[in-house]
Amino acid sequence: MASRSSRMDRAGGVRARQALDAVERALRKPILDRYARLTTSGKPVTCQPRADERNGTGPSRGSKYPKVIFDLEAAALAAARELVRAGCRPMTAYPCPRSRRGHWHLKTIRQIDADQ
Ligand SMILES: [Zn+2]
């Protein structure tokens, strides 16, 4: 019983996390549209893992998921500040190891639970 209950709690937790992710995506969009590098159609440009990273034949150079590109650290940090004010999880900027000319991404700061 305990393990079934535990599985259900995990499933509920995943659903809650997915719902929160959807809320965060909706909050993030107008902010990212303002600070990110945009396509000619006005959508944020993303950085994708190369084919050799995806299929495991080359070294991993960054996130395995597409990440929104910021041309400047200042733009990434400004977006991070606005995202936090909008209710998103705390984020910080980092230079992309994949970038040839230099671009930045945001990543969530994992907070340490002070109660642990
Ligand atoms: Zn990148």
Residue 18 Cα to ligand 1 middle (Å): 24
Question: Is 64:55 a contact under the CB 8 Å cutoff?
Answer: no
pLDDT band at 1 (very low <50, low <70, confident <90, very high): very low
Range of the structural domain that residue 29 is part of: 4-108
Q: Is 23 contained in some domain? A: yes
Q: Is 113 contained in some domain? A: no
Residue 26 Cα to ligand 1 middle (Å): 22
Confidence at residue 111, expressed as pLDDT on a 0 to 100 scale: 58
Q: Is 38 contained in some domain? A: yes
**Among the listed residues 89, 49, 78, 90, the one whose alpha carbon sits nearest the alpha carbon of residue 66:** 49
Residue 1 Cα to ligand 1 middle (Å): 46
Q: Is 50 contained in some domain? A: yes
The number of distinct structural domains making up the chain is 1
Residue 115 Cα to ligand 1 middle (Å): 35
Tokens 């998103």 -> residue: 88
Whether pLDDT at 72 is above 50: yes
